[in-house]
Amino acid sequence: EIVMTQSPATLSVSPGERASLSCRASQSVSSNLAWYQQKPGQAPRLLIYGASTRATVIPARFSGSGSGTEFTLTISSLQSEDFAVYYCQQYNNWPPITFGQGTRLEIK
């Protein structure tokens, strides 16, 4: 089973600033990586798939990069609605599909 490790656990950033969230895989997952956003009381929402492709209606301020074992989700200019928990998920070696433990993005 591939273990996904996200860092940091919590990231404090001011609105309007840039945020970079990291995700590391225990072995290569090629570009088979997705990012999700989850707000309190809501289900996760797909942001990025294929490591760098934005899902439908996701704003351009969200971007994904990386391949192999190292991935980054960048939010270029944080809006108030972006403060949430973010998860990465690999789908290269399965079953099982596996998720990271999440990064909480909070207002500084």
Partner 1 sequence: QVQLQQWGAGLLKPSETLSLTCAVYGGSFTGYYWSWIRQSPGKGLEWIGEINHSGSTNYNPSLKSRVTISVDTSKNQFSLKLNSLTAADTALYYCARRWELFRYMDVWGKGTTVTVSS
List contacts with partner 1 (CB under 8 A): 1, 32, 34, 42-46, 49, 55, 87, 89, 91, 94-102
Report yes or no: 64 and 72 within 8 Å, Cβ to Cβ.
yes
Q: How far is the CB of 93 from partner 1 (least distance, A)?
A: 10
When the beta carbons of 16 and 95 are compared against partner 1, the nearer one is 95
Phi and psi, residue 81, nearest 5°: -75, -5
When the beta carbons of 73 and 78 are compared against partner 1, the nearer one is 73
Report yes or no: 89 and 4 within 8 Å, Cβ to Cβ.
yes
What is the spatial distance between Cα 99 and Cα 79, in angstroms, rounded to a whole number?
25
Report yes or no: 36 and 101 within 8 Å, Cβ to Cβ.
no
Q: How far is the CB of 96 from partner 1 (least distance, A)?
A: 4
When the beta carbons of 49 and 62 are compared against partner 1, the nearer one is 49
